[in-house]
Amino acid sequence: MTTANLETAAPDPIRFVGQTDGHLVLIDQTKLPVELIHIECRDVETIWEAIKMLRVRGAPAIGIAAAYGVVVGMQAAADKPMAEFESRFDEVVEYLAGSRPTAVNLFWALDRLKATFAAAKESGKTTAEIHDALLAEARFIHEDDRQVCRAIGRHGAELIEPGNGILTHCNAGGLATADYGTALAVMFTCQDQGKEIHVFVDETRPLLQGSRLTAWELVQRKIPATLICDNMAAQVMKEGRINAVITGADRIAANGDSANKIGTYGVALLAKAHGIPFYIAAPISTFDLSLPTGEGIPIEQRDPVEIIHGMGKQTAPSEVQVYNPAFDVTPAGLIAGIITEKGVISPVTPENVAKVVAG
Ligand code: MRU
């Protein structure tokens, strides 16, 4: 475990050090904004725990971490015969797939590694060569996400006028991706283009990804930002301070219904009531075209302790019943556009989703 200077460190949330016998280094996001701690993950159990406990979080970052998790998990079978190597691969993939259910990027990344494994085996590669191929694919997914996020930023920035106030919910920033974010990529690009904006940040109960992570990233980049409690969004909209809402997504169905952090649906309803465009910013890897609508998106239920002991302090009686869904689904009808690396899907219809995602 290493710590770094909070003032000077740039977020590099995921780093793989070495070759197939290497290890994964993650920022422990549960410690931000107080401490910037890097954790070294040298076995797949540590990576599973890091995903489960939100030390690494955000849909694209979960996918990247899981891809490297497979590489690390295969170290235990590195010198085994093919049959054992293959059975270990299936075990590791299934294990990582059980860490969190909603972000489809996790399953997308694991599917990519499955395809890599199958192709490498089919072409007669040795177990060591297959392991190399898995690492190369994980690195590709990681590097590609940097380009994808920048393209999302460029497309999204075209929707923003100088002087706009933008509300965001949860954290869809550099920490949630390879390094540049999805929703926050739009704001970072506006800054790079010299377009002045002001970001309003929902604190995002119960785990405070907005106040702990998004506010931290915006402060680091010196983008003007104001933190609000989740229940203040309606008032801030009514005061005319919000011109657009942009959030990320964890899974988008074929009709554009989008799952994102709990509370996003409410923000979208508020935006509709105030005539403010609500945008989702997400990569193509966040679409799940196997689901016709958002009805089928699995919603993660999390431990009641996150609400009863909010941030470690008891805030409710231990015996009270708690409902703690981590995500909700915003219907496509409330979404003005989905900003992807291939352009903005608008209006959000099944036809337009299919055209952009498959195109
Ligand atoms: O539970 P989390 O913190 O992983 O939830 C994250 C979100 O809801 C993000 O908005 C989403 O994954 C998009 S990240 C680019």
* pLDDT reading at 3 higher than 60: no
Model confidence over 23-81: pLDDT tens digits? 999 999 999 999 999 999 999 999 999 999 999 999 999 999 999 999 999 999 999 99
pLDDT of residue 5: 46
3-class SS string, 326-359 = CEEEECHHHCCEEEECCEEECCCCHHHHHHHHHC
Which pLDDT score, from 0 to 100, does residue 12 have?
83
The first and second tokens of residue 47, run together, are 């990576």
pLDDT at position 8: 42
Strands 278-281, 337-340: pairing kind: parallel
Ligand 1 neighbour 260 (Cβ under 6 A): yes
Phi, psi of 183 (to 5 degrees): -60, -45
Res 335 pLDDT > 90 = yes
Can you give the length of the chain in residues?
Answer: 359
Cα pseudo-dihedral 282, 17, 115, 127, rounded to 10: -170
Report the pLDDT value the prediction gives residue 311, as an integer from 0 to 100.
80
> Which CATH number fits the domain that encloses residue 272?
3.40.50.10470
Is the distance from the beta carbon of residue 326 to the nearest atom of ligand 1 less than 6 Å?
Answer: yes
Ligand 1 nearest-atom number relative to CA 170: 10
Of 82, 90, 87, nearest to 122 (Cα)?
82
Amino acid at 64: I
pLDDT (average), residues 92-118: 98
Question: Is the same domain home to 177 and 317?
Answer: yes
| pLDDT at residue 9 greater than cutoff 80 | no
- CB 54 near ligand 1, within 6 Å: yes
Residue-wise pLDDT for 139-184, tens only, equals: 999 999 999 999 999 999 999 999 999 999 999 999 999 999 999 9
Does an H or E element contain 18, and which?
Answer: none
* Ligand 1 geometric centre to CA of 139 (Å): 21
Which residue, of 115, 149, 183, is where some domain finishes?
Answer: 149
Is 309 found in the same domain as 210? yes
Please report how many Cα atoms fall inside a 13 Å half-sphere around the Cα of residue 320, on the Cβ side: 13
- What CATH code is carried by the domain that includes residue 88? 1.20.120.420
Domain count, the chain: 2
268-315 per-position pLDDT tens digit: 999 999 999 999 999 999 999 999 999 999 999 999 999 999 887 999
CA distance 198 to 212: 18
Structure tokens at 187: 């704001």
Q: Is the pLDDT of residue 10 over 60?
A: no
Q: Which pair of structure tokens corresponds to residue 224? A: 């003007």
Instruction: Assess whether 214 and 328 both reside in one domain.
Output: yes
Same domain, yes or no: 20 and 106: yes
Q: How far apart are CA 359 and CA 218, in angstroms?
A: 33
Which of residues 120, 149, 178 is at a domain's end?
A: 149
- Rounded Cα gap, residues 267 and 203, in angstroms: 12
Q: What is the pLDDT of residue 277?
A: 99
Residue 180 and residue 72 share a domain: no
**pLDDT of 4 strictly over 60:** no
Domain extent, residue 221, equals 153-358
Average pLDDT, the chain: 96
Q: Among 149, 177, 201, which residue terminates a domain?
A: 149
> Among candidates 51, 40, 43, 47, which has minimal Cα distance to 2?
40
Asked if 95 and 191 sit in the same domain, the reply is no
